[in-house]
Amino acid sequence: MSNSLSPSPELVDPLDPLIGYHLRRTTVAVTAALADLLHPLGINVGEATLLLFLGANQGCTQSDIGRALRAQPANLVPLINKLALLGVLDKQPGKGRAITLSLTTDGERLHASVSEAFERHESRIGRSIPAERRDEVLALLRQLCRDACHP
């Protein structure tokens, strides 16, 4: 019985040599696996990413986050609002019209759980990368991102 998901041996895959194609497929798989780990915590990947960033940068502003994560305000506002509604994010007046963002006590607890989920996820997806090559892989991925952002 043949597996209908396997390509026929006579088919040529013109996408196989394309870095972008493999990055997209990898992104979809990695994000889905992370979403599965975060589901029991009641947050999605975007919210968890923001929570980790805020945990490392208490008192930053939405503009700071946007620049650091290359995120548009329209994409950040719903994430920030949801975390605030969950009671894990505190908004305080900053300089001028800026609002500073910090984790609440509940946010710090959730941050610890999210950090643990990310650590488990990283161990799983990076298990085939030798420890001595990890920095090299990260450097290559960062360079691909820079090249894509600055054609």
Confidence of residue 33 (pLDDT cuts 50, 70, 90): very high
Instruction: Say if residue 150's pLDDT is above 90.
Output: no
pLDDT at 113: 98
**CATH of residue 107:** 1.10.10.10
Q: What angle do CA 66, 148, 15 make, to 5 degrees?
A: 130
Q: Is residue 85 part of a domain?
A: yes
Q: What's this model's pTM, rounded to 2 decimal places?
A: 0.85
Confidence of residue 4 (pLDDT cuts 50, 70, 90): low
Amino acid, single-letter form, for residue 31: T
Confidence of residue 3 (pLDDT cuts 50, 70, 90): low
pLDDT tens sequence across 78-99 = 999 999 999 999 999 888 888 9
Q: Is residue 82 part of a domain?
A: yes
Into how many domains does the chain fold? 1
Instruction: Give the domain extent around 67.
Output: 19-124
% of the chain beyond a pLDDT of 90 = 85
pLDDT at 5: 66
Q: Is residue 54 part of a domain?
A: yes
pLDDT at 95: 83
